[in-house]
Amino acid sequence: MIKFDQVTKVYGDKVKAVDNVSFDVPEGNIVVFLGPSGCGKTTTLRMVNRLETITDGKIFVNGTDVNSLNEIELRRKIGYVIQHNGLFPNMTIEDNVMAVPNLIGWDRKKKADRYKYLMDLVGLNPDEYRKRYPHELSGGQQQRVGIARAMAADPPVMLMDEPFGALDPVIRTRIQNEFLQIQQEVKKTILFVSHDIDEAIKMGDAIAIFQNGKLMQYDSPSELLAHPKNEFVREFVGKDRALKSLSLHTVEDLISERMLRKLDGNENSNKKTISVETNLRDALSILLNQEADQLVVQANNKLVGAMKIDDVEAYLHQHIK
Amino acid sequence: MKNKRLLSFVIKLILFTLVASFFAWSFKSGYYQLIIDDSEGFIFLLKQHINMVLLSILLAIVLAIPMGILVTRPKFQKLQWLFMNIANLGQTIPSLAILALAMTWMGIGFKPAVFALFLYSLLPILRNTVAGIKSIDPNLLDAAKGIGYTPAQILLKIELPNAAYPIMAGIRTAVVINIGTAALAYLVGGGGLGDWIFTGIMMRDNSYLLSGAIPVTLLALLADQLVRFIEKLVISKGLRQSITISD
């Protein structure tokens, strides 16, 4: 869907912000651009809708070279979300969401339907917010409106530049989850800039990790964690990469590999019930935090067995290492 | 906190009493009789005064706002200091000197007066237009560009509406200053309520003095309120800063 072909960006004469980057993004995938600040991830993103010029190489969106298109038309066909939402304070929420349809001249009925659909999608009441202004909304609500605006004209591709970076951790986690659900429904091809490895693992179908303008590794999160290609990637993903990779596996995965323990009848032991969809990192956290000696696993409202720290450890050795 | 409020109330009360007793005294002394006795003359001067102010302000708006827009375009950014300095210079020269200079070039009458007032109004409007546009969050412009606004659409739908508050404040400042400065137009034969004020000064006649000066003051206050009212109409509700709600 999006193809980077030996893309290079040079500022001035010497500074190579992006250096000969090539990779393909399949349709419907979220690819997270990850790296420290100044690594070229944002520049790479901004070359897709030509907010930055491409010095050398080509970027194709849906088979078309972006440089062959009118830049205004191109941008209207690509969703764009930035960190500080960039909502227009002088416009109502409805006008903000409908910014692109207004530019390309949709009729009233089509706009009204689309507005309602999008606001429902991002979990805001369409009528309650219609005539309100951005400053009346919280950061999380503003970012939801920002996402709705990016999807207004139903672009197949979306660019998101640290979209959740300015939100506090609790709201960030909530919006990340909501956004993944939205993505299940809309299946956009998304390029997503982040500097947070945990966010990248959570959101990405694939991660592109950058350093000094060079693409260090482009792989699925589990591959990146299991087999970092070089020292930089190993360091960036952190010493706890084994632990991080646990967040990609659920209790259900563990059950498919190992038998669960039988539920013992001992009422005194410290137990906690979790669902099979819980990821193993969270399960381990609960066990380590001494909230429970063992976890009772629940599937379809039935208790199917129990697990202990040993089980997670064994799974880790057997499956991830 | 309570003491502070009490103090400000007392101060307001004292000022109000002073103003009220001044008016009571001046009315009792019949100093405004002139406005009634020579109402035709008064209205003529008032109209002259308003015409000078309106014309000079309109000219200043028509020139200063486009100039402000121009010098905030990336291509002309380098010219910004030049325009700002010229406008600053206009403001630094005393108003009387500008009148004198205008008179040497344009002779006496309405024209040099309007020209001097126009020069004097340029700076507040230009400065506020430039400051207003420059103070817009670059993220907004990036977002607008990124979703496909053309440069003209960014100017008309994002930059000007979001800079409307400072621009209107600049116009308001210029109007109020101008109404006061226009009293000097008498010196170059421009007419206006300055005629009575200067007559009053020269003849030590409170009647002339106050019948000219008080209406000028009231006119300035009225114009200030009028421009504030227009501000409310043209500035988006979304820009009136108010409470932010948390999640």
The residue-averaged pLDDT of A244-251 equals: 82
The residue written with tokens 């964690």 in the block is: A225
Which chain A residue lies closest to B137 (C-alpha atoms)?
Answer: A86
The residue-averaged pLDDT of B111-129 equals: 91
End-to-end CA distance of chain B: 31
List Cα–Cα distances, B88 to A162, B60, B79, B114, B127, in angstroms.
42, 14, 14, 19, 9
Residue A120 has pLDDT above 80, yes or no: yes
Mean pLDDT value across chain A: 89
Q: What is the ipTM of this complex?
A: 0.80
Contact present, A244 and A198 (Cβ < 8 Å):
yes
Nearest-angstrom CA–CA distance, B22 and B31: 11
| Interchain proximity A80–B236, CB inside 8 Å | no
> Which residues have a Cβ under 8 Å from the Cβ of B83 and sit 6 or more positions away?
B67, B71, B126
Q: Which residues of B touch A141 (CB under 8 A)?
A: 247
Residue B243 has pLDDT above 80, yes or no: no
Predicted local confidence at residue A97, as pLDDT:
96
Nearest to A25 by CA among A1, A56, A52, A53: A1
Nearest-angstrom CA–CA distance, A182 and B16: 62
Q: Which residues of A touch B242 (CB under 8 A)?
A: 135-136
Beta strand pairing status for A302-307 and A157-161?
Answer: unpaired
Residues 275-304 of chain A whose Cβ lies under 8 A from any Cβ of chain B: none
More confident residue, A129 or B88: A129
Give the residues across from A59 on adjacent strands.
A4
Which chain B residue lies closest to A103 (C-alpha atoms)?
Answer: B149
> Which residues have a Cβ under 8 Å from the Cβ of A286 and sit 6 or more positions away?
A272, A274, A292, A295
- Considering just the CA atoms, what is the radius of gyration of chain A in Å? 22
Predicted local confidence at residue A320, as pLDDT:
62
Touching check for B162 and chain A: CB below 8 Å?
yes
Predicted local confidence at residue A252, as pLDDT:
82
Touching check for A144 and chain B: CB below 8 Å?
no
With 0-12 / 13-18 / 19 or more C-beta atoms within 10 angstroms meaning exposed / middle / buried, residue B231 is middle
Touching check for B161 and chain A: CB below 8 Å?
yes
Nearest to B245 among A76, A136, A150 (CB): A136
**Buried residues in B53-84 as b, exposed as e (16+ CB within 10 A):** bebbbebbbeebbebbbebbeeeeeeebeebb
Longest dimension (CA), chain A: 73
List Cα–Cα distances, A72 to A51, A105, B36, in angstroms.
10, 14, 65
Beta strand pairing status for A64-65 and A56-61?
Answer: antiparallel
| Interchain proximity A137–B245, CB inside 8 Å | yes
Nearest to A3 by CA among A29, A42, A37, A40: A29
Render B129-183 in DSSP notation, one character per residue.
HHHHHHTS-HHHHHHHHHTT--HHHIIIIIIHHHHHHHHHHHHHHHHHHHHHHGG
Q: Which residues of A touch B238 (CB under 8 A)?
A: 89-92, 133-135
Give the model's confidence band at A265: pLDDT under 50 very low, under 70 low, under 90 confident, else very high.
Answer: low
Contact pairs from chain A to chain B, CB under 8 Å: 89
End-to-end CA distance of chain A: 33
Q: Which residues of B touch A74 (CB under 8 A)?
A: 148
Residues 15-44 of chain A whose Cβ lies under 8 A from any Cβ of chain B: none
Residue B247 has pLDDT above 70, yes or no: no
| Interchain proximity B247–A92, CB inside 8 Å | no
Nearest to A146 by CA among A111, A138, A35, B162: A138
Lowest mean pLDDT among A274-288, B33-47, B118-132, B190-204: A274-288
Q: Which residues of A touch B149 (CB under 8 A)?
A: 72, 99, 103
The residue-averaged pLDDT of A77-103 equals: 93
Which chain B residue lies closest to A98 (C-alpha atoms)?
Answer: B147
Could you tell me how far CA B27 lies from the centroid of its own chain? Answer: 29
> Which residues have a Cβ under 8 Å from the Cβ of A123 and sit 6 or more positions away?
A144, A178
Look up residue A70 and give its DSSP letter: -
**How many contiguous H segments (helices) and E segments (strands) does chain B have?**
11, 0
Beta strand pairing status for A271-275 and A294-299?
Answer: parallel
Q: Which residue intervals of A159-212 are DSSP H helices?
A: 169-186, 197-203
Residue B140 has pLDDT above 50, yes or no: yes
| Interchain proximity A86–B140, CB inside 8 Å | yes
In chain A the domains, ranked by start, together with CATH numbers, are: 2-239 (3.40.50.300), 251-320 (3.10.580.10)
Residue B242 has pLDDT above 60, yes or no: no
Give the model's confidence band at A266: pLDDT under 50 very low, under 70 low, under 90 confident, else very high.
Answer: low
| Interchain proximity A86–B246, CB inside 8 Å | no
Give the model's confidence band at A194: pLDDT under 50 very low, under 70 low, under 90 confident, else very high.
Answer: very high
Residue B246 has pLDDT above 50, yes or no: no
| Interchain proximity B146–A90, CB inside 8 Å | no
Predicted local confidence at residue A76, as pLDDT:
94
Predicted local confidence at residue A91, as pLDDT:
95
Residues 163-182 of chain B whose Cβ lies under 8 A from any Cβ of chain A: 164
Residues 93-132 of chain A whose Cβ lies under 8 A from any Cβ of chain B: 99-100, 103
pLDDT digits (tens, 9 = 90+) for B26-51: 888 888 888 888 889 999 999 999 99
Q: Where are the domains of chain B?
A: 41-236
Indicate the residue type of B169: A
Which chain A residue lies closest to B247 (C-alpha atoms)?
Answer: A138
The residue-averaged pLDDT of A25-51 equals: 94
Nearest to B147 among A85, A100, A134 (CB): A100
Predicted local confidence at residue A267, as pLDDT:
59
Nearest to B159 by CA among B68, B36, B76, B34: B68
Which chain A residue lies closest to B160 (C-alpha atoms)?
Answer: A90
Predicted local confidence at residue A152, as pLDDT:
94
Q: Kindly state the tokens that stand for A219.
A: 């792989």
Predicted local confidence at residue A310, as pLDDT:
82
Give the residues across from A81 on adjacent strands.
A160
| Interchain proximity A103–B247, CB inside 8 Å | no
Q: At what angle do helices A139-150 and A169-186 cross, to 10 degrees?
A: 20
Touching check for B74 and chain A: CB below 8 Å?
no
Contact present, B168 and B124 (Cβ < 8 Å):
no
List Cα–Cα distances, B197 to B42, B53, B113, B184, B206, in angstroms.
12, 17, 16, 9, 9
Residue B92 has pLDDT above 70, yes or no: yes
| Interchain proximity A73–B148, CB inside 8 Å | yes
pLDDT digits (tens, 9 = 90+) for B215-231: 999 999 999 999 999 99
| Interchain proximity A88–B162, CB inside 8 Å | yes
Lowest mean pLDDT among A188-197, A227-236, B65-74, B82-91: B82-91
> Which residues have a Cβ under 8 Å from the Cβ of A250 and sit 6 or more positions away?
A276, A277, A278, A279, A280
Q: Which residues of B touch A82 (CB under 8 A)?
A: 139, 142-143, 146
State percent of chain B over pLDDT 90.
61
- Considering just the CA atoms, what is the radius of gyration of chain B in Å? 22
Nearest to A140 among B139, B236, B247 (CB): B247
The residue-averaged pLDDT of A188-197 equals: 93
pLDDT digits (tens, 9 = 90+) for A254-264: 888 777 777 76
List Cα–Cα distances, A140 to A118, A175, A179, B247, in angstroms.
16, 8, 12, 7
Residues 43-82 of chain A whose Cβ lies under 8 A from any Cβ of chain B: 49, 51, 72-76, 79-80, 82
pLDDT digits (tens, 9 = 90+) for B147-180: 999 999 999 999 999 999 999 999 999 999 999 9
The residue-averaged pLDDT of B57-86 equals: 89
Give the model's confidence band at B245: pLDDT under 50 very low, under 70 low, under 90 confident, else very high.
Answer: very low
Mean pLDDT value across chain B: 89
| Interchain proximity A137–B137, CB inside 8 Å | no
Strands (DSSP E) along B79-128, which ranges? none
Touching check for A137 and chain B: CB below 8 Å?
yes
Count Cα atoms within 13 angstroms, Cβ side, for B167: 26
Indicate the residue type of A27: E
Touching check for A237 and chain B: CB below 8 Å?
no
Touching check for B94 and chain A: CB below 8 Å?
no
The topology (CATH level 3) of B41-236 is: MetI-like fold (1.10.3720)
